[in-house]
Amino acid sequence: MLTPLIMKLEHFLPVPDQAKEWLNSLVLRYDDFPMHADIIREGDMPSGVFVVTGGHACRYKILPDGTRQILDFMFPGDMTELHSLLLRVTDHGIVTLGPTTIARIDRGRLIAAMFDHPVVAVALWWNALHREAILRERITAIGRRSAYSRVAHLLCEISERLKLVGETVDHSYRLPLSQAELGDALGMSEVYANRMLRRLQDEGLIIADHRMLRIPDVDALKEAAGFDPRYLHLEGAPQAVRDAVPRWN
């Protein structure tokens, strides 16, 4: 079931039951991947659209010298774009962070029938803008924030994103990353990522045990991170869009 995707879209705009069923009907099949399995390799002919329905993955690039940059995370509800239709090769790979389930989507029907379900089309469009905003914020973080703030910032972002799909319980969640992966995502070394995490703990901003993370004082962590959640655009659709929905059905 595409439940996480629907949960996410509903934060933007209420999705009618009929459209939910339609979305679910686009699933061709579900595939399970083990930890650290490539779903897409850079330079592949892009494959179809898919949605993460369980587990966690990330987009990444490998540089000539072998280092890796993680570009973005894919949590439940996150999906790939239509690269598959419009491009000849992918410019990045996607790898699982742990055991992961994806739903493969019928691309043709998705495109063709989005016209029949404008609510969904609009919600997916919002989703694309949301994703792009996350990329921009990552650029800002890596370019201009200290390592310390960057780690804090990413922890805030992950918290918000997991909350969208119900993977947090009051400001604590299971962090689906190793410290090496955290470093690769933030453009720093594994060792330094460790030190920044440690400092956040020592200062009481987070409580981490194994990979369970608790944020005792959200505002304090946001302060350290310079985190302003507006870039995630979680306020829901503007009134003009809500007003237009009935006309679309």
Instruction: Write out the residues near DNA by the rule CB under 7 A.
Output: 146-148, 178-180, 183, 187-192, 194-195, 197-198, 210-211
From a copy of itself, DNA, none, interface partner of 122 (C-beta below 5 to 8 A by class): a copy of itself
Selected from 56, 138, 161, 222, the binder of a copy of itself by CB under 8 A is 138
Binding residue (CB under 8 A) for a copy of itself from 8, 20, 59, 117: 59
Q: Which stretch binds a copy of itself (CB under 8 A): 26-34, 94-102, 123-131, 196-204?
A: 123-131
Shortest Cβ 172–a copy of itself spacing (Å): 26
Q: How many CB atoms lie within 10 A of CB 86?
A: 8
Using alpha carbons, list the distances in angstroms from residue 99 to 179, 201, 234: 18, 28, 28
In the set 17, 21, 29, 86, which binds a copy of itself (CB under 8 A)?
86
Query: Of these partners, DNA, a copy of itself, none, which one is at the site of residue 156 (CB under 5 to 8 Å by kind)?
Result: none
One-letter amino acid of 48? G
Nearest approach, Cβ of 189 to DNA (angstroms)? 4
Q: Which residues are near a copy of itself by CB under 8 A?
A: 43, 59, 61, 63-64, 67-69, 71-72, 81-83, 85-89, 91-92, 115, 122, 125-126, 128-129, 131-133, 135-140, 142-145, 186-187, 226, 230-231, 233, 235, 237-238, 240-241
